[in-house]
Amino acid sequence: MTSPRSPLARPFPLLPQIAGVTPHVARAGYKAWERTDLTFITLDPGTSVAGVLTQSKCPSPEVEWCRAALVLGQARAIVVNAGNANAFTGARGRAAVEVIAARAAGQLGCQPSDIFVASTGVIGVPLPIDKAEAGLDAAFSAAPCSWEEATNTIGTTDTFAKAAMTTAVVDGRTVTLVGIIKGSGMIAPDMATMLGFIFTDAAVEPAFLQAALSEANRASFSCITVDSDTSTSDSVLAFATGKAGNTPLSDAEDAGADAFRAALSDLCLQLAHLVVRDGEGATKFIEIAVTGAESDASARTIALSIANSPLVKTAIAGEDANWGRVVMAVGKAGEPAERDSLAIRFGDTQVAQGGLAVVGYDEAPVAAHLKGQDIEIGVDIGLGEGSATVWTCDLTHGYISINADYRS
């Protein structure tokens, strides 16, 4: 993490250990950097797993491996490689994943299918198997590390370590959820975002864990965008060790199921917001709330059209109250919209309504709002009851600087 720290960064939280989860890090040397870049997190026997993975038609072999392993619902470890996405690498890439899973399984005395693998970084370069093996061997003998060390190790262009926690009461017991995530660019998730890993000591059956994670994803990771680009490697995995001792959750009707779902949703939203706050070159955190659409799905499409508009994002970067660009983004979304029913606000100030600028509209409070770091844009389509909220960041010269020489 050598780029200047994002002005939207949040401090790393104080995170508790999760019983049954032990993180380790090592340096495999995937890039010419002096930092750890391989994370090996072991999970006690009996750990359940669920996941949401990229819908990209060009997924990495790690994504394909995890998709197959998730069917079995059990996990003993996750291996994360940073600096090399191992995507679009053919048979050599697949072989690297198989070697990593087999080597970790041999260390833990389990099946390769119990090992989950994720990689992030440059696309099109096969993951060096020799470096992966040496990095794994170093991780096997490394002392357990802190959550912050593990989080820093999974990062690439991230400027700060991103993590969060929540708790819930399930079956009379307090269960804890901890999540770590990396992501800064190539963020327009079509399921989840970049690489995120969630750990809980709750006892949760795999099918219910999957349902809860999928539900949480829809209102969090799938509602953020930095640059409209979806990664080949997006993966969010949730692991439940069962060490809290509660009666395993297996159904939405179980006592404590609602509390667990709410905690997981809260955790995912915290993590998703942190990714946007570390958007490459970002100086503004932008919330876009669309109401009055014909359906929730229509509202989400319109909101993402606004959030992904380079013209909207650069206007916000320049602190320019150019609400006409919002009108443009609504109109191009391809969803039902009526010009003369449209209303737009910046912060608490209504700027346009009924197809016109608000009579007597004073731009001063909007200009003041845009000088802050947290920006709110509200759009009422005026046609129905559909609503959606998405989050994005502004588009600055910093984004170009980071991505113009990403491989060097």
Question: Which of the listed residues 253, 277, 301 is the one where a domain comes to its end?
Answer: 277
Say if 155 falls within a structural domain: yes
> Do 170 and 224 have their domain in common?
yes
**pLDDT digit string, tens, across residues 50-104:** 999 988 888 999 999 999 999 999 999 999 999 999 999 999 999 999 999 999 9
> Do 356 and 311 have their domain in common?
yes
> Do 27 and 170 have their domain in common?
yes
Q: What is the structure's pLDDT at 144?
A: 98
**β 235-240/195-200 pair status:** parallel
pLDDT category of residue 226 using cuts at 50, 70 and 90: confident
| pLDDT of residue 397 exceeding 50 | yes
The predicted model gives 134-141 an average pLDDT of 98
Q: What does the alpha-carbon distance between residue 228 and residue 280 come to, in Å, rounded to a whole number?
A: 13
> Do 109 and 229 have their domain in common?
yes
408 annotated binding-site participant: yes
What would you measure as the largest C-alpha separation in the chain, in angstroms? Answer: 72
280 annotated binding-site participant: yes
Domain that holds residue 242: 21-277
> Do 242 and 308 have their domain in common?
no
313 annotated binding-site participant: no
Residues with catalytic roles: 193
Q: What does the alpha-carbon distance between residue 182 and residue 1 come to, in Å, rounded to a whole number?
A: 11
> Do 292 and 395 have their domain in common?
yes
**Look-up of token digits 């038609």:** 57
> Do 96 and 238 have their domain in common?
yes
> Do 238 and 294 have their domain in common?
no
Provide the whole-model pTM: 0.94
113 annotated binding-site participant: no
**β 21-26/38-53 pair status:** antiparallel
| pLDDT of residue 406 exceeding 80 | no
pLDDT category of residue 170 using cuts at 50, 70 and 90: very high
> Do 191 and 109 have their domain in common?
yes
The predicted model gives 162-167 an average pLDDT of 98
392 annotated binding-site participant: no
Question: Which of the listed residues 277, 296, 317 is the one where a domain comes to its end?
Answer: 277
